[in-house]
Protein backbone atom coordinates (compact mmCIF):
# COMPACT_ATOMS: atom_id res chain seq x y z
CA UNK A 1 0.00 0.00 0.00
CA UNK A 2 2.14 2.80 -1.26
CA UNK A 3 1.75 6.35 -0.09
CA UNK A 4 3.51 9.61 -0.71
CA UNK A 5 2.83 13.31 -0.39
CA UNK A 6 2.62 15.97 -3.03
CA UNK A 7 6.00 17.66 -2.94
CA UNK A 8 4.36 21.07 -3.42
CA UNK A 9 3.57 21.84 0.18
CA UNK A 10 6.07 20.26 2.55
CA UNK A 11 9.03 17.99 3.13
CA UNK A 12 7.89 14.37 3.41
CA UNK A 13 8.91 13.77 7.01
CA UNK A 14 7.41 17.04 8.25
CA UNK A 15 4.12 16.83 6.40
CA UNK A 16 1.73 16.62 9.32
CA UNK A 17 3.48 19.34 11.29
CA UNK A 18 3.07 21.71 8.37
CA UNK A 19 -0.66 21.23 8.58
CA UNK A 20 -1.08 21.71 12.32
CA UNK A 21 -1.77 25.41 11.78
CA UNK A 22 -4.61 24.47 9.44
CA UNK A 23 -6.50 22.58 12.10
CA UNK A 24 -9.61 24.78 12.10
CA UNK A 25 -9.91 24.79 8.32
CA UNK A 26 -9.31 21.05 8.07
CA UNK A 27 -12.16 20.31 10.44
CA UNK A 28 -14.40 20.99 7.45
CA UNK A 29 -12.56 18.60 5.13
CA UNK A 30 -13.04 14.91 4.33
CA UNK A 31 -16.70 14.72 5.14
CA UNK A 32 -18.21 14.29 1.67
CA UNK A 33 -17.13 11.05 -0.01
CA UNK A 34 -17.63 10.33 -3.71
CA UNK A 35 -17.18 6.86 -5.24
CA UNK A 36 -16.14 7.33 -8.86
CA UNK A 37 -15.93 3.67 -9.88
CA UNK A 38 -16.55 0.20 -8.46
CA UNK A 39 -14.56 -3.05 -8.65
CA UNK A 40 -15.27 -5.58 -11.38
CA UNK A 41 -14.14 -8.77 -9.63
CA UNK A 42 -16.36 -10.62 -7.14
CA UNK A 43 -17.69 -7.82 -4.94
CA UNK A 44 -20.72 -5.81 -6.08
CA UNK A 45 -21.46 -2.10 -5.63
CA UNK A 46 -23.69 -2.67 -2.60
CA UNK A 47 -21.04 -4.62 -0.69
CA UNK A 48 -18.37 -2.16 -1.80
CA UNK A 49 -20.34 0.68 -0.21
CA UNK A 50 -20.84 -1.45 2.89
CA UNK A 51 -17.11 -2.16 3.20
CA UNK A 52 -16.05 1.44 2.65
CA UNK A 53 -18.63 2.64 5.18
CA UNK A 54 -17.21 0.24 7.78
CA UNK A 55 -13.69 1.56 7.15
CA UNK A 56 -14.77 5.19 7.46
CA UNK A 57 -16.68 4.35 10.63
CA UNK A 58 -13.44 3.17 12.26
CA UNK A 59 -11.91 6.62 11.78
CA UNK A 60 -15.02 8.63 12.66
CA UNK A 61 -15.00 6.93 16.07
CA UNK A 62 -11.55 8.32 16.92
CA UNK A 63 -11.45 11.62 15.01
CA UNK A 64 -13.50 14.84 14.82
CA UNK A 65 -14.84 13.80 11.41
CA UNK A 66 -18.03 12.25 10.17
CA UNK A 67 -18.26 10.92 6.63
CA UNK A 68 -21.13 10.53 4.18
CA UNK A 69 -21.30 9.49 0.56
CA UNK A 70 -22.55 12.02 -1.99
CA UNK A 71 -23.66 11.46 -5.61
CA UNK A 72 -21.02 11.54 -8.32
CA UNK A 73 -22.14 14.94 -9.63
CA UNK A 74 -21.70 16.59 -6.20
CA UNK A 75 -18.36 18.09 -5.24
CA UNK A 76 -16.59 16.07 -2.55
CA UNK A 77 -13.64 16.21 -0.18
CA UNK A 78 -12.57 12.63 -0.79
CA UNK A 79 -12.75 10.70 -4.06
CA UNK A 80 -12.51 6.91 -4.27
CA UNK A 81 -12.06 4.78 -7.35
CA UNK A 82 -11.06 1.32 -8.53
CA UNK A 83 -8.59 1.58 -11.41
CA UNK A 84 -6.66 -0.55 -13.87
CA UNK A 85 -2.87 -0.71 -14.10
CA UNK A 86 -2.42 2.52 -16.08
CA UNK A 87 -4.66 5.06 -14.39
CA UNK A 88 -4.95 8.82 -13.89
CA UNK A 89 -1.44 10.32 -13.94
CA UNK A 90 0.53 7.28 -12.78
CA UNK A 91 2.90 7.35 -15.76
CA UNK A 92 4.11 10.83 -14.82
CA UNK A 93 3.92 10.50 -11.05
CA UNK A 94 7.13 10.00 -9.08
CA UNK A 95 5.17 9.00 -6.00
CA UNK A 96 2.22 6.83 -7.02
CA UNK A 97 3.21 4.23 -9.54
CA UNK A 98 0.85 2.44 -11.86
CA UNK A 99 -0.76 -0.67 -10.41
CA UNK A 100 0.80 -4.08 -11.02
CA UNK A 101 -2.12 -6.46 -11.42
CA UNK A 102 -3.13 -9.00 -8.79
CA UNK A 103 -1.28 -8.92 -5.44
CA UNK A 104 1.65 -6.53 -5.09
CA UNK A 105 0.43 -2.97 -4.63
CA UNK A 106 -3.20 -3.07 -3.52
CA UNK A 107 -4.02 0.62 -3.23
CA UNK A 108 -2.54 4.04 -2.63
CA UNK A 109 -3.74 7.38 -1.31
CA UNK A 110 -2.83 11.05 -1.42
CA UNK A 111 -2.28 13.28 1.60
CA UNK A 112 -4.54 16.32 2.14
CA UNK A 113 -5.63 18.44 0.46
CA UNK A 114 -5.70 16.13 -2.58
CA UNK A 115 -8.24 13.71 -1.14
CA UNK A 116 -8.03 10.66 -3.40
CA UNK A 117 -7.82 6.93 -2.77
CA UNK A 118 -7.09 4.53 -5.64
CA UNK A 119 -7.71 0.78 -5.43
CA UNK A 120 -6.26 -1.77 -7.86
CA UNK A 121 -9.22 -3.09 -9.84
CA UNK A 122 -7.32 -6.26 -10.73
CA UNK A 123 -7.52 -7.42 -7.11
CA UNK A 124 -10.28 -9.73 -5.89
CA UNK A 125 -11.91 -7.65 -3.18
CA UNK A 126 -14.14 -9.24 -0.54
CA UNK A 127 -15.79 -8.48 2.78
CA UNK A 128 -13.95 -10.74 5.21
CA UNK A 129 -10.46 -11.88 6.05
CA UNK A 130 -7.78 -11.81 3.37
CA UNK A 131 -7.17 -15.39 2.27
CA UNK A 132 -6.04 -17.49 -0.69
CA UNK A 133 -8.75 -19.13 -2.80
CA UNK A 134 -7.63 -22.51 -4.10
CA UNK A 135 -10.73 -22.66 -6.28
CA UNK A 136 -9.94 -19.41 -8.10
CA UNK A 137 -6.18 -19.57 -7.62
CA UNK A 138 -5.98 -15.96 -6.41
CA UNK A 139 -5.76 -13.98 -3.20
CA UNK A 140 -9.05 -12.58 -1.90
CA UNK A 141 -8.33 -9.22 -0.25
CA UNK A 142 -10.23 -7.69 2.65
CA UNK A 143 -11.62 -4.37 1.37
CA UNK A 144 -12.38 -2.95 4.83
CA UNK A 145 -8.85 -3.55 6.06
CA UNK A 146 -7.11 -1.96 3.06
CA UNK A 147 -9.59 0.92 2.90
CA UNK A 148 -9.09 1.77 6.58
CA UNK A 149 -5.32 1.86 6.03
CA UNK A 150 -5.63 4.16 3.01
CA UNK A 151 -8.13 6.45 4.75
CA UNK A 152 -5.50 6.91 7.45
CA UNK A 153 -3.12 8.17 4.77
CA UNK A 154 -5.78 10.44 3.28
CA UNK A 155 -6.25 11.96 6.73
CA UNK A 156 -2.52 12.67 6.99
CA UNK A 157 -0.95 9.67 8.74
CA UNK A 158 2.23 8.10 7.40
CA UNK A 159 3.30 4.50 7.80
CA UNK A 160 3.96 3.39 11.36
CA UNK A 161 6.89 1.21 12.41
CA UNK A 162 4.72 -0.29 15.14
CA UNK A 163 3.90 -3.83 13.92
CA UNK A 164 0.62 -3.68 15.85
CA UNK A 165 -0.56 -0.58 14.00
CA UNK A 166 -3.17 -0.47 11.26
CA UNK A 167 -0.86 2.01 9.51
CA UNK A 168 2.07 -0.42 9.43
CA UNK A 169 3.34 -0.79 5.86
CA UNK A 170 2.57 -4.54 5.95
CA UNK A 171 -0.71 -4.29 7.81
CA UNK A 172 -2.42 -6.71 5.41
CA UNK A 173 0.20 -9.33 6.27
CA UNK A 174 0.14 -8.76 10.03
CA UNK A 175 -3.67 -8.87 10.07
CA UNK A 176 -4.01 -5.88 12.39
CA UNK A 177 -7.48 -4.44 11.82
CA UNK A 178 -8.03 -2.07 14.70
CA UNK A 179 -6.84 1.49 15.10
CA UNK A 180 -4.07 1.47 17.69
CA UNK A 181 -3.56 4.03 20.42
CA UNK A 182 -0.58 5.64 18.69
CA UNK A 183 -2.73 6.20 15.59
CA UNK A 184 -5.41 7.79 17.75
CA UNK A 185 -2.67 9.99 19.21
CA UNK A 186 -1.58 10.96 15.70
CA UNK A 187 -5.10 11.92 14.58
CA UNK A 188 -5.65 13.92 17.75
CA UNK A 189 -2.35 15.72 17.22
CA UNK A 190 -3.43 16.66 13.71
CA UNK A 191 -7.03 17.66 14.27
CA UNK A 192 -7.75 17.76 17.98
CA UNK A 193 -10.28 15.49 19.62
CA UNK A 194 -13.75 15.74 21.03
CA UNK A 195 -16.08 13.95 23.37
CA UNK A 196 -18.76 11.98 21.58
CA UNK A 197 -21.31 11.60 24.39
CA UNK A 198 -23.09 14.20 26.52
CA UNK A 199 -22.71 11.86 29.52
CA UNK A 200 -18.93 12.42 29.69
CA UNK A 201 -18.87 15.01 32.52
CA UNK A 202 -21.15 12.84 34.65
CA UNK A 203 -19.07 9.73 34.04
CA UNK A 204 -15.88 11.61 34.86
CA UNK A 205 -17.34 12.70 38.22
CA UNK A 206 -18.01 9.03 38.96
CA UNK A 207 -14.31 8.26 38.46
CA UNK A 208 -14.66 6.49 35.10
CA UNK A 209 -11.49 8.18 33.79
CA UNK A 210 -9.56 5.86 36.14
CA UNK A 211 -11.87 2.86 36.52
CA UNK A 212 -13.16 2.57 32.92
CA UNK A 213 -10.30 3.97 30.89
CA UNK A 214 -11.04 2.03 27.68
CA UNK A 215 -14.62 3.32 27.55
CA UNK A 216 -13.58 6.89 28.32
CA UNK A 217 -10.70 6.89 25.82
CA UNK A 218 -13.16 5.99 23.10
CA UNK A 219 -16.04 8.31 23.98
CA UNK A 220 -14.68 10.99 26.34
CA UNK A 221 -11.01 11.68 25.52
CA UNK A 222 -11.27 15.43 26.08
CA UNK A 223 -12.99 15.15 29.46
CA UNK A 224 -10.35 12.71 30.73
CA UNK A 225 -7.42 14.55 29.14
CA UNK A 226 -6.58 11.52 26.98
CA UNK A 227 -6.32 13.54 23.79
CA UNK A 228 -2.59 13.97 23.62
CA UNK A 229 -1.30 11.20 25.84
CA UNK A 230 1.53 9.20 24.30
CA UNK A 231 0.63 5.52 23.78
CA UNK A 232 3.37 4.29 26.04
CA UNK A 233 3.85 4.28 29.81
CA UNK A 234 5.71 6.97 31.67
CA UNK A 235 8.77 5.42 33.29
CA UNK A 236 11.34 7.90 34.60
CA UNK A 237 15.02 7.01 34.31
CA UNK A 238 16.36 5.16 37.32
CA UNK A 239 19.27 7.56 37.69
CA UNK A 240 19.73 11.07 36.34
CA UNK A 241 22.42 11.30 33.65
CA UNK A 242 25.74 12.72 34.92
CA UNK A 243 25.72 15.46 32.29
CA UNK A 244 23.49 16.70 29.52
CA UNK A 245 24.69 17.98 26.17
CA UNK A 246 22.68 20.89 24.81
CA UNK A 247 22.18 21.14 21.05
CA UNK A 248 20.64 24.18 19.38
CA UNK A 249 19.49 23.19 15.91
CA UNK A 250 17.52 24.63 13.03
CA UNK A 251 13.91 23.57 12.53
CA UNK A 252 13.57 20.65 10.14
CA UNK A 253 17.04 19.28 10.77
CA UNK A 254 17.46 15.54 11.32
CA UNK A 255 19.19 14.93 14.67
CA UNK A 256 20.62 11.52 15.62
CA UNK A 257 21.64 10.38 19.11
CA UNK A 258 23.98 7.41 19.63
CA UNK A 259 24.04 5.44 22.84
CA UNK A 260 27.43 3.81 23.52
CA UNK A 261 27.89 0.96 21.05
CA UNK A 262 30.76 -0.58 23.03
CA UNK A 263 28.57 -0.82 26.11
CA UNK A 264 25.65 -2.27 24.16
CA UNK A 265 27.87 -5.03 22.79
CA UNK A 266 28.18 -6.26 26.38
CA UNK A 267 24.59 -7.49 26.01
CA UNK A 268 23.04 -4.45 27.60
CA UNK A 269 19.51 -3.37 26.72
CA UNK A 270 18.84 0.22 25.63
CA UNK A 271 15.93 2.30 26.96
CA UNK A 272 15.12 5.66 25.38
CA UNK A 273 13.22 8.49 27.07
CA UNK A 274 11.94 11.92 26.14
CA UNK A 275 11.42 14.25 29.08
CA UNK A 276 11.37 11.16 31.35
CA UNK A 277 8.73 9.36 29.26
CA UNK A 278 9.69 5.91 28.00
CA UNK A 279 9.76 5.64 24.21
CA UNK A 280 8.67 2.27 22.87
CA UNK A 281 7.79 2.88 19.23
CA UNK A 282 8.92 4.97 16.27
CA UNK A 283 6.56 7.66 15.03
CA UNK A 284 7.03 8.76 11.39
CA UNK A 285 7.65 12.49 11.23
CA UNK A 286 8.34 12.48 14.97
CA UNK A 287 11.08 10.04 15.94
CA UNK A 288 12.77 6.86 14.77
CA UNK A 289 14.10 4.27 17.23
CA UNK A 290 16.92 1.96 16.11
CA UNK A 291 18.20 0.26 19.28
CA UNK A 292 21.59 1.93 19.84
CA UNK A 293 20.62 5.19 18.10
CA UNK A 294 17.58 7.37 17.69
CA UNK A 295 16.72 10.12 15.18
CA UNK A 296 14.27 13.00 15.41
CA UNK A 297 13.19 15.85 13.17
CA UNK A 298 13.80 19.11 15.02
CA UNK A 299 10.56 21.02 15.50
CA UNK A 300 8.51 22.63 18.25
CA UNK A 301 7.02 19.32 19.38
CA UNK A 302 10.37 17.56 19.55
CA UNK A 303 12.12 20.12 21.74
CA UNK A 304 13.11 18.61 25.06
CA UNK A 305 15.56 16.29 26.80
CA UNK A 306 16.36 12.85 25.38
CA UNK A 307 18.02 10.20 27.52
CA UNK A 308 19.27 6.70 26.83
CA UNK A 309 19.96 4.20 29.59
CA UNK A 310 21.84 0.95 28.95
CA UNK A 311 20.94 -1.75 31.48
CA UNK A 312 21.98 -5.35 32.01
CA UNK A 313 19.23 -6.91 34.05
CA UNK A 314 18.83 -4.37 36.85
CA UNK A 315 22.33 -2.93 36.63
CA UNK A 316 22.80 0.36 34.78
CA UNK A 317 25.85 0.26 32.52
CA UNK A 318 25.73 3.85 31.29
CA UNK A 319 23.50 6.84 30.58
CA UNK A 320 23.59 9.62 28.01
CA UNK A 321 21.43 12.70 27.71
CA UNK A 322 20.85 15.47 25.15
CA UNK A 323 18.77 18.62 25.37
CA UNK A 324 17.38 19.84 22.04
CA UNK A 325 16.47 23.48 21.49
CA UNK A 326 15.33 25.18 18.29
CA UNK A 327 17.35 28.01 16.83
CA UNK A 328 15.09 31.07 16.55
- Catalytic residue list: 150
Q: Is 116 annotated as a binding residue?
A: no
Q: Is 87 annotated as a binding residue?
A: yes
Cα 314 to Cα 321: distance, rounded to the nearest angstrom: 20
Taken in order 188, 190, 192, 194, is the CA torsion positive or negative?
A: negative
Q: Is 121 annotated as a binding residue?
A: yes
Q: Is 167 annotated as a binding residue?
A: yes
Q: Is 108 annotated as a binding residue?
A: yes
Taken in order 215, 220, 225, 227, is the CA torsion positive or negative?
A: positive
H runs (alpha helix) in 63-212: 143-154, 171-174, 181-191, 200-205, 208-211
Q: Is 69 annotated as a binding residue?
A: no
222 three-state secondary structure: coil
Cα 55 to Cα 35: distance, rounded to the nearest angstrom: 14
Rounded to a whole number, what is the distance in angstroms from the first to the last CA of the chain? 38
Q: How far is CA 100 from CA 1, 55, 107, 116, 160, in A?
A: 12, 24, 10, 19, 24
Q: Is 225 annotated as a binding residue?
A: no
Q: Is 216 annotated as a binding residue?
A: no
Q: Is 328 annotated as a binding residue?
A: no
Percent helix, strand and coil across the chain, each to the nearest 5 = 25, 25, 50
Q: Is 123 annotated as a binding residue?
A: yes
Query: CB neighbours of 174 closer than 8 A, spacing ≥ 6?
Result: 163, 164, 168
Q: Is 219 annotated as a binding residue?
A: no
CB 321 within 8 A of CB 244: yes
Cα 11 to Cα 111: distance, rounded to the nearest angstrom: 12
Residues annotated within the binding site are 77, 87, 89, 100-101, 108, 118, 120-121, 123, 149, 153, 159, 167
Residues annotated within the binding site for Zn(2+) are 87, 89, 108, 118, 149, 153, 159, 167
Residues annotated within the binding site for Ca(2+) are 77, 100-101, 120-121, 123
Amino acid sequence: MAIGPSWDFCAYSLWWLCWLSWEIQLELLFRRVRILSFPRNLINARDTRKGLAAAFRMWSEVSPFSFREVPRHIDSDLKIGFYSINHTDCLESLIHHCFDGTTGELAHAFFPPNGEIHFDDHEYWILGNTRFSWKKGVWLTDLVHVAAHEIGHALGLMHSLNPNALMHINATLTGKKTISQDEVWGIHRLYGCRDRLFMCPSWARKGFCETRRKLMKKHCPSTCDFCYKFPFPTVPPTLPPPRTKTKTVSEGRNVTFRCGQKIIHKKGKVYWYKDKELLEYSYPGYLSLNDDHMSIIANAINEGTYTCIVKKKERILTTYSWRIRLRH
